[in-house]
Amino acid sequence: MRKKIDQRKIIDATLKIVKEKGTSGVTIKNTAMELGIKSPSLYNHVENLEDLLDLAAHKSMQNLYEKLLTASIGLEKKEALWAIAKEYRNFAKNNPGQYELAQKVNTWNSEETKQISEQIVAIFLKILQKYTLSEEEAIHFIRVLRSYLHGFTLLEVNGGFGLPQELEKSFTIGLEMILTNLESRSNQDGQ
């Protein structure tokens, strides 16, 4: 009896490999083995490795989007930014392979994957509408916040903080500095 393979099963198998071996462990052969099929059979569903990685990146970004959206529901301004910053960090720590795929812009081959990236940015932009920022200033702020979250989390996950001070306190202080600056700039512009 032939196995029924669909896109969801292919993505699930690929993300299982990402979780166990990282993104470098994703190959057509490894995904086919995970599915219990031969490599040529997988080509009936994906064009190549790039297509497979795009599917996995799309699902990873969709997972991140849903986490960020859920975290921000019912919150505004600073509280919403705190909530999504914490969720962003948690997602990166708890799903390092998926987070890596969500950061690898060169794996985003489909328009659908690029659109989910834009939807993630839109969450931030919607929150920032409550501040008196131009769209350009909002984009700069998103880049700064994302850079902080990305850098802090990578250092944390890779054991880059060797000093004994509490990491959670360091994270909170850094995020507070960024958000306080935002509030201050917004108040100055609003006067």
* Encoded tokens for 43: 């080509």
* Encoded tokens for 133: 């920022």
In the predicted model, what is the mean pLDDT of residues 72-76?
Answer: 94
Query: pLDDT (tens digit, 9 = 90+) per residue, 146-157?
Result: 999 999 999 998
DSSP string, 88-118: HHHHHHH-HHHHHHHH-GGG--SHHHHHHHH
Q: Which CATH class is domain 57-190?
A: mainly alpha
Is 189's pLDDT higher than 90?
Answer: no
Is 186's pLDDT higher than 90?
Answer: no
- Listed range (92-96, 105-109, 142-146, 167-171) with the worst mean pLDDT: 105-109
In the predicted model, what is the mean pLDDT of residues 114-131?
Answer: 93
Q: Which amino acid is at 14?
A: T
- Residue 185: per-residue pLDDT: 74
**Residue range(s) in the chain whose domain bears CATH number 1.10.10.60:** 1-46
Pick the CATH number of 1-46 from 2.60.40.1930, 2.60.40.1120, 3.40.30.10, 1.10.10.60: 1.10.10.60
pTM: 0.88
- Residue 156: per-residue pLDDT: 92
- Residue 190: per-residue pLDDT: 52
Dihedral-angle region of residue 190 (phi above 0 means left; psi in -120 to 50 means alpha; beta otherwise): alpha
**Residue range(s) in the chain whose domain bears CATH number 1.10.357.10:** 57-190
* Encoded tokens for 64: 């991140």
Task: Find all residues with CB under 8 Å of 23, minimum gap 6, and list them.
Answer: 53, 97, 100, 101, 104
